[in-house]
């Protein structure tokens, strides 16, 4: 029974990994719909295999290619995914003997594929063990090509590596690459006086590591996996990255404010703004995706947020009835999402070098329309979860040339150090002065 359970979890992880890479889907959305049949330890094992394999894909594929000696596209996708998750487990997870992983994967392949396929799996995995997949041996393979080694060891596509190289702290490129290839802990947001201290104390008593977030007074960092069971006793605790919180917190929302939240789904910022403005204020939450708006509506009902008005609308199109109507407008604009790769490592493989410019063009159209909705003296907050120049500083400079009625009050990247425990957002708070 134990072996059968392990086989099921391994096959599930392999299948999910293949789906993410072949269908360009996000891991968390797949896991949410796939793990309900498993117990918590099994869910953690599957989650680690999927996230870890995708995060270290180029590293893992290097050793498979070295063992196979042919292009990986010649390997059946099911078998390649089994090889990837098993190789990741052998190299990066120390909870199981590598030889045992080889035997378990071979037996699983025999059952779900064929005896011939299991022989192939067995050969490749044993060849990888023979090659001894250490850092030193990978460095020896690349010899004097330090850049190629860093790209492979830290699993960065070449186009993204070049961008990261430009923003890494001086003389700290490898430390920076190492850090952004590590997962972030779960961050929380709380509501209510004294709630943060109570939640931190509760999490610590349950064996988690928790501490106040760096800049947002509503935020909590955790450095160990936190599950819903640990926070279910609290009504006003939400999972939300601190950078996402800051996009709302920096708006200086007051009780009674009327706020327009463009591109609002899935609604984390909407709920935060709803809390800050209170029942005397209102949030008009807008998105072009009907399904995501339905999810936002369900969340608003679940958390009893009565001041949110949900609208289906394409924000690239002007709504004349909204002109000069809102105290504050929040635009969490469409972007390349490169600032989220610690939480969403699949972004490395789902995006390409053309995406930043393409997304900047779309965001520019929405930002141009959003400028019309702010009252004189009001706030326009622009936020993107990325760091590329064309989507951040260039975007704002172009906007200000076209809209001299706005003045920048705050603009920064939320991650300024490799030690920051949050996604990389660019936040720009602008006030309408005319």
- 59-85 pLDDT, tens digit per residue, is 999 999 999 999 999 999 999 999 999
| CB of 359 closer than 8 Å to CB of 350 | no
- b/e map 323-345, b = 16+ CB within 10 Å: eebbbbbbbbbbbbbbbbbbbbb
Average pLDDT over residues 20-37: 89
142 and 203 assigned to the same domain? no
Distance (Å, whole) CA 341 – CA 197:
29
78-99 tens-digit pLDDT = 999 999 999 999 999 988 899 9
Position 1 confidence tier, pLDDT thresholds 50, 70, 90: very low
Q: pLDDT confidence of 374, banded at 50, 70, 90?
A: very high
- Is 162 a member of any domain? no
Q: What is the pTM of this model?
A: 0.94
Statement to judge: residues 88 and 209 lie in one domain: no
End-to-end CA distance of the chain: 71
Considering 195, 222, 240, which residue would you say is the last residue of a domain? 240
**Domain end marker among 155, 171, 202:** 155
Are residues 145 and 211 part of one domain? no
In a domain, 177, yes or no: no
The confidence score (pLDDT) of residue 2 equals 38
Cα–Cα distance between 221 and 291 in angstroms, integer?
Answer: 30
| 267 shares its domain with 191 | no
Q: Is 171 left (phi over 0), alpha (psi -120 to 50) or beta?
A: left
- Sheet with 326-332, edge to edge strand ranges: 308-312, 282-287, 258-262, 326-332, 374-384, 426-432, 406-413
Measured distance CA(425)–CA(342) in Å, rounded: 13
Count of structural domains within the chain: 3
Q: Does residue 169 sit within a domain?
A: no
113 lies in the same domain as 7: yes
**pLDDT tens-digit series, residues 142-193:** 998 999 999 999 999 999 999 999 988 878 899 999 999 999 999 999 999 9
Q: What average pLDDT is seen over the chain?
A: 94
pLDDT for the residue 36 = 85
Q: What pLDDT does residue 131 have?
A: 98
What is the secondary structure of 217-246 as a DSSP string?
TTEEEESS---HHHHTT-SSEEE--HHHHH
How far CA 262 is from CA of 247, 310, 346, 387, in Å, comes to 13, 10, 25, 20
pLDDT value for 380 = 98
* pLDDT at residue number 3: 39
Distance, CA of 329 to CA of 182 (rounded, Å): 34
Q: How far apart are CA 417 and CA 380, in angstroms?
A: 27
Final residue of a domain: which of 177, 210, 240? 240
Domain co-membership, 282 together with 422: yes
Nearest 5°: phi and psi at 316?
A: -80, -10
Query: Same domain for 225 and 289?
Result: no
What's the CATH code of the domain at 211?
Answer: 3.30.70.1170
Contact of 355 with 407, CB cutoff 8 Å? no
Q: Helices 173-180 and 146-153 meet at what angle, rounded to 10?
A: 20
- Domain annotation covers residue 147: yes
Run of H or E including 328: strand 326-332
User: Looking at the domain assignment, is residue 176 inside a domain?
Assistant: no
Q: Are residues 113 and 223 in the same domain?
A: no
Structural domain boundaries enclosing 385: 250-432
- Report the C-alpha gap between 262 and 318 in whole angstroms: 12
CATH code of the domain covering residue 371? 3.40.50.150
* Residue 91 included in any domain: yes
Bridge partners of residue 383, in order along the sequence: 332, 427
Q: Mark whether 141 and 206 lie in a shared domain.
A: no
CA distance linking residue 268 with residue 340, whole number of Å? 15
Distance CA 351, CA 370 (A): 26
Measured distance CA(363)–CA(83) in Å, rounded:
40
Q: Is 110 exposed, middle or buried (0-12, 13-18, 19+ CB in 10 A)?
A: middle
- Same-domain pairing of 93 and 124: yes
Shared domain check, 130 and 231: no
Predicted local distance difference test score (pLDDT) of residue 416: 87
CATH number for position 44: 1.10.940.10
In this model, does residue 226 exceed pLDDT 90? no
b (16+ CB within 10 A) / e for 28-60? eebbeebbeebeeebbebbbbbbbbbbbbbbbb
* Predicted pLDDT at 231: 87
d(CA 190, CA 217): 9
Which residue is listed with tokens 């011939």?
A: 116
112 within some domain: yes
Computed on alpha carbons and rounded to an integer, the radius of gyration of the chain in Å comes to 24
346's CB contacts (< 8 A; 6+ apart) are 20, 21, 25, 26, 27, 54
- DSSP-assigned states of every residue in 365-426: HHHHHHGGGEEEEEEEEEEES---GGGTHHHHHHHHHH-TTEEEEEEEES--STT--S---E
Tell me the pairing of strands 426-432 and 374-384: antiparallel
Q: How far is CA 281 from CA 217, 278, 326, in A?
A: 21, 6, 11
Residues 129 and 268 in one domain: no
| Greatest CA separation for the chain | 74
- pLDDT for 4 beyond 80: no
Is residue 131, in this structure, part of any structural domain at all? yes
- How far is 277 from 283, CA to CA, in rounded Å? 8
């Amino acid at each position: 029974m134990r072996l059968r359970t392990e086989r099921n979890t391994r096959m599930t992880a392999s299948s999910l990994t293949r789906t993410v890479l072949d269908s360009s889907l996000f891991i968390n959305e797949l896991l949410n719909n796939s793990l309900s049949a498993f117990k918590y330890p099994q869910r953690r094992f599957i989650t680690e295999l999927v996230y870890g394999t995708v995060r270290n894909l180029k590293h893992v594929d290097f050793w498979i290619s070295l063992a196979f000696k042919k292009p990986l596209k010649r390997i059946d996708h099911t078998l390649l995914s089994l090889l990837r998750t098993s190789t990741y487990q052998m190299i990066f997870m120390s909870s199981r003997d590598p030889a045992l992983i080889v035997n378990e994967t071979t037996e699983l392949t025999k059952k779900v594929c064929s005896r011939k396929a299991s022989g192939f799996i067995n050969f490749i995995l044993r060849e990888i063990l023979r090659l001894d997949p250490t850092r030193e041996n990978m460095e020896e393979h690349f010899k004097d090509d330090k850049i190629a080694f860093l790209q492979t060891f830290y699993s960065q596509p070449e186009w993204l590596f070049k961008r990261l190289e430009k923003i890494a702290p001086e003389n700290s490129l490898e430390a920076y690459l190492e850090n952004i290839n590590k997962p972030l802990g779960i961050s929380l947001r709380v509501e209510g006086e004294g709630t943060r201290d109570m939640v931190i104390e509760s999490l610590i008593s349950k064996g988690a590591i928790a501490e106040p977030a760096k800049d947002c007074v509503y935020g909590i960092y955790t450095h160990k996996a936190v599950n819903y069971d640990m926070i279910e006793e609290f009504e006003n605790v939400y999972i939300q990255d601190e950078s996402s919180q800051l996009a709302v917190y920096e708006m200086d929302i007051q009780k009674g404010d009327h706020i327009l939240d463009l591109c609002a789904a899935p609604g984390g910022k909407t709920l935060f703004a709803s809390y800050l403005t209170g029942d005397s204020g209102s949030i008009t939450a807008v998105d072009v995706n009907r399904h995501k708006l339905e999810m936002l509506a369900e969340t608003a009902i679940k958390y009893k947020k009565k001041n949110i008005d949900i609208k289906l609308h394409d924000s690239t199109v002007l709504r004349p009835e909204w002109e000069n109507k809102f105290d504050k407008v929040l635009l969490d604009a469409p972007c390349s999402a490169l600032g989220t790769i610690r939480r969403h490592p699949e972004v490395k493989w789902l995006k390409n070098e053309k995406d930043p410019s393409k997304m900047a063009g779309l965001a520019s159209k929405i930002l141009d329309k959003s400028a019309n909705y702010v009252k004189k003296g009001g706030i326009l907050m622009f936020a993107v979860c990325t760091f590329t120049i064309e989507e951040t500083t260039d975007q704002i400079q172009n906007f200000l040339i076209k809209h001299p009625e706005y003045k920048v009050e705050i603009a920064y990247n939320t991650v300024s150090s490799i030690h920051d425990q949050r996604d990389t957002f660019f936040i720009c708070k602008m006030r309408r002065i005319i």
